[in-house]
Structure formats: structure tokens, C-alpha cells
Amino acid sequence: IADSGAVLHVWPETSAPAYLSHDARHRYMLSQTARQSGAYQLVGALGANTEGERVRHYNSCYLFEPDGHLQLRYDKVKLVPFTEQVPYQDDLPFMRREFLFEYLTFIKTYDIKIWSDFVPGDSLALFSMGDTTFGVLICFESAFPEYARTMIRQGADFVLGITNDTWFGHSVGIHMHSRFFVTRAVENRCWMVRVANSGLSYVVDGYGRIWNELPLDARMAAIGRVNRLDGFSVFTVIGDVAGKVSFLLTVLAAAILLGLWILRKTGLLRRSA
């Protein structure tokens, strides 16, 4: 990898199966990898913090600089409901894994697969490479237009997406998930790079054109270039106005139809006629 000429190496979501937040040995190994490559290493891994007596787990990514220094960790904010976390589990303690394992012993007895017990991160983060700034969308986060838009408005010159798509198999889901990412690029006229551990991995420009794509299940790496953002798109400036207007018109039409139905049922509409 030292001869690739790449400035930044991007690893998929949870590609390093370790808690780099407190696993010094694996953190040192990745630091050495960055030094040997002479490039930045963006690594998908796990993170954890201790708050009081409770350990909080995160789906994270880490940026190692060419000198081996760990610059920043980002914790995924938009978690997959009932896969990575139960929504509002802090307010519903009986839905936590430790509670369920204690009182529903058949979960362990029959090895029933339930959700992970991740906690969402506090906020988005931007990484730096010299005078260039980029953001990272982890997996499901590419489904949120406003989140990607906010990232770009806060200064991202381009956006990376890292994901683990193996649980889709070869179903249509793997392609649908990829389309979300392409749509975010087109909306913001921003170059983006998608890195998946089983595909689809590629570079996409602000017009949705895909470059340097790797096929599904390919055991290889691709080298590509991205352009920095040179200006905000209309969507980046004003947001999803069309979607909001469409929603309001739908609600208005539904309210009118409901009102007419009520008037007919009560006979008021006939009397007024």
C-alpha cells in the first residue's frame, strides 16, 4: 500500500473488529500501518465509553494521520432501528439487552439473534487532511438527506460512505442502499466515495456518474480521485423544499377530503347547498 500513491485509504464499516477506543494493541497496529503507507487511514471499527457503571458502545470510524497520530473518532449518529439499537432505550430500560438476557433466559438458551446495543453519537464530525475537509456517512446514514446536507454546509469538501452490506446477501437491498448514496451526491453536487466490505464500492461525482466501481464480493481495492466541492447546489442551500411542500399539500388535501366527508355525514353539506 505504500506504493499505491493514495493520499487516503478508506476501510469499510467495522472492518477492524476491535474497540479502538481502548484497545491499545490494535490501535498501535493501525498507527504503524499509517506510518508505513505514508497516507491517512480512515478505519471503520467499534468504540466505547464508560458513563457511571454503564459501558456505552458505538459504531465508529477513526482517522489515523500519516505519522500514525489518531486525529479523530466519529460515532455513528443515525442507527438502524431494532437492528443496532432500540429507539429510546434509555427511557425504556426493560428493552435493554441486559434486562432481556436476565429475565428472558430462552434468548441465550436457543441463541436467538436480537439487536445490538449501540448508542448514537452526539453529533457529526468532520475530518481534516491538510487544507481539505471531509465527512463520513456510516451505512444507514446515507438514507438521510438533511444529515448529508448539514455535513456539506458545515465545510465538507467531499463525503465518504463506509458500510457493511453483507447481511443483504445478493438481494435488491444491496443496490437500493447504494442508490441512496448516489442520490446524496446528486442532491449536493458533491463528489463522494462509497466503500463496502462486499460491494458496491465506487467513486461517484456530483452528477451521479460512477467511477472506479468494484463488483460484488470482489477481494480487491480501487484507486480513484475526487474533486473538492466548488459551490453549494440549490438543494444544499434551501433543503428539501419540494418534499416539504408535497407533504403539506398531501396533508391539506387529506384534511379537505376528511372535512367534506364529515359534512356529508352530518348533513351540513346538503343543507348549505
**What residues are labeled active site?**
13, 76, 139
Residues sharing a CB contact under 8 Å with residue 155, sequence separation 6 or more, in sequence order: 126, 133
Instruction: Centre a 10 Å sphere on the Cβ of residue 156 and count the other Cβ atoms it contains.
Output: 24
d(CA 138, CA 152): 15
Query: Which residue from 127, 134, 116, 149 is spatially nearest to 14, judged by alpha carbons?
Result: 116
Calculate the dihedral angle through the C-alpha atoms of 159, 60, 65, 134, rounding to the nearest 10 degrees.
20
Adjacent-strand bridge partners of 61: 44, 74
Q: Is 256 helix (H, G, I), strand (E, B) or coil?
A: helix
CB of 135 closer than 8 Å to CB of 190? no
d(CA 50, CA 47): 11
CB of 71 closer than 8 Å to CB of 65? yes
